[in-house]
Amino acid sequence: MLFSVIRQARRYKLSTVMCGLAFCTFFFILAACLTIGYVSQKQSVEQQTLQLNEIHAKELSRITQSLIYSMQSSLAETSRYIMLEPTNEPSAIQKQLDYFRKSNSYFNAVLTMNEKGEVQYSSPEQVYNPETLPVNDQMEKALLKRRAYISTPYSDPNGRLVIMMGHPLYTADGRYMGMLAGVLYLEESNRLNELLDEGSKKEDGSYFYVVDNKSNIIYHPIESRIGKRLVGNYIMEELQDGRSGYQRTLNVNQQEVLAGYATVPGIRWGIVFQTPAENTEIFSAQLVENMLFYLVPIIVLLLMIIYHLAVQLSHPLNSLADYARSIGGEDGDGIPPLHAGWNYEAHELHQAIMVLEQQTREKERRLQKEAHYDALTGVLNRRALVSIMQNWVGNRYHFTVMMLDIDHFKSINDTYGHSMGDDMLKCMADVIAEQIQSQDLCFRYGGEEFVILLYEMDEDQGREVGEQIREAAEQCPTPFDRAITVSLGMTVYAGGDENLEELLEQADQALYNAKNTGRNKMVVYEHPTAISASD
């Protein structure tokens, strides 16, 4: 079995490389654009949402302040009106309270209390029985201090969660008569709830809630949250200090929200407007989808244009490569390719290859005219060996030099005559030709010595070929009783600084060692003195 040639490194066409580079470039640019766009959009939307939520909170704060101011002003005006013409007739006072409650719809209930906090009159009637004390600690303090107040959420005697607003009652001569109070049922409809409900919850999941100055929830779109107190919350601390702003934080369900907050001046209530943080990811993802929708067709179009240009650029180079390969092959001349005049590199390369091909053909014709072949064996002679080795060494090709000598050849000539010796030389040339590849060369060096050049073969490969030649020589039929054996010496040229004479001298030294150590073997030259042999 013939020894296979060494494996060639994988090579790629120019058009493949160009298209591959273009695809990778576009892919990484697209990935970078999408990543940067996604992150930038997310940060921008998040910052914009935070600022807008703070604006919403401030606007709601302004509206709420206006409503609360109107409520307080209405209580103050009504308290002055009631005390303007004080009367002890219950029906007259009841009518005034009913008229006040129905005329503005600010409060769910309106009542008057004496200085002890006992209910005197209420509208609707019987909502609080006379002499009932529907007050909490803060309201008792307000009664004692005889000043207007707004309570924190608390449960009244009827079990309702309420907020009470009060204004002191003074007669014309300055006597303190108690309080006029408006009651807001936090879990029922009233003017405050109606105002806040108009924009309480958005389609994107945004909503707001209102807290008093003690962080108690006054209004929330989820009614079960009303009356709860928020503790350990950074935003609540900011609101209690009277500050407005925005913050990315966690809600009670441990979900990230973008919250804007603002205080209601005068009463120190707080309004928090918040949006789910995941909305920013949704908006950013939509941006990425839009970018893909517009960029992908453009990139595909550009890749098609680049592919077309790559094919146009590489086609003349591929043609030149095929033609250059055909020149060195056994098929003879190829068809000279047409070159694109617009492609400068292809044009120059075409001209150079044509000149080189012409020079090569001329050299081949000259070599053929010279006597490069041995007349007896038909293999190349020593002159060809020198010329080819000089060329290979000059171009630093990697190759193996093998020198072969027929053992005891003189005794064959002496015993059977020179004619038999000539036949042995021809037989050996045939044996060598059968064991080497088409790119390898065999030369008759002189007498019974042959030189074999193995192209692109290293030491292990050369050793295997040499052993094949040696074994084939032993099996070669002869007209006499004993087999023919050969000794071989080998050296490897790997593109170093050795010249022709040094390589032949190394191979000759290895051959000399083979003959002196028993013949019928191959010895590989190892610099400087180490010799390895295989029988």
Question: Token digits for 213?
Answer: 């100055």
pLDDT at 428 over 60: yes
> If you average pLDDT over residues 236-249, what whole number do you get?
86
User: What is the maximal distance between C-alpha atoms in the chain?
Assistant: 166
Question: Token digits for 109?
Answer: 């209930």
Same fold: 43-65+191-280 with 107-185:
yes
Sequence ranges of the domains in the chain = 43-65+191-280, 107-185, 370-534
3-class secondary-structure state, position 121: strand
Question: Token digits for 432?
Answer: 């060598």
> If you average pLDDT over residues 205-220, what whole number do you get?
85
Q: Comparing 3-17, 141-155, 231-245, 489-503, which segment has the lowest mean pLDDT?
A: 3-17
| Cα–Cα distance for residue pair 120/404, rounded to 1 Å | 136
Q: Which amino acid is at 480?
A: F
Could you name the CATH architecture of 107-185? 2-Layer Sandwich (3.30)
Any bridge partners for residue 509, and if so which? none
Q: So what's the pLDDT on residue 501? A: 92
Tens-place pLDDT, residues 246-258: 888 888 778 888 8
- Under the banding of pLDDT at 50, 70 and 90, the label for residue 3 is very low
Q: So what's the pLDDT on residue 531? A: 46
pLDDT at 200 over 70: no
Q: So what's the pLDDT on residue 86? A: 62
> If you average pLDDT over residues 179-196, what whole number do you get?
84
Tens-place pLDDT, residues 256-294: 888 889 988 878 888 898 888 887 777 777 777 777 777
* 3-state secondary structure labels for all residues of 8-27: CCCCCCHHHHHHHHHHHHHH
- Under the banding of pLDDT at 50, 70 and 90, the label for residue 346 is low
134-138: which pairs have CB atoms within 8 A and are 24 or more residues apart?
A: 134/164, 134/183, 135/164
Q: Comparing 45-49, 270-274, 373-377, 525-529, which segment has the lowest mean pLDDT?
A: 525-529
Task: Indicate the CATH number for domain 43-65+191-280.
Answer: 3.30.450.20
| Cα–Cα distance for residue pair 40/155, rounded to 1 Å | 49
- Are β-strands 522-525 and 486-493 bridged in parallel, bridged antiparallel, or unpaired? parallel
| Cα–Cα distance for residue pair 61/458, rounded to 1 Å | 89
3-class secondary-structure state, position 284: helix
Tens-place pLDDT, residues 287-328: 777 777 777 788 788 878 887 777 777 777 677 677 767 665
Rounded alpha-carbon distances, angstroms, from residue 13 to 131, 315, 328, 337: 102, 10, 20, 17
Q: So what's the pLDDT on residue 84? A: 76
**What whole-number percentage of the chain has pLDDT above 90?**
19
- Under the banding of pLDDT at 50, 70 and 90, the label for residue 338 is low
Task: Indicate the CATH number for domain 370-534.
Answer: 3.30.70.270
- Under the banding of pLDDT at 50, 70 and 90, the label for residue 192 is confident
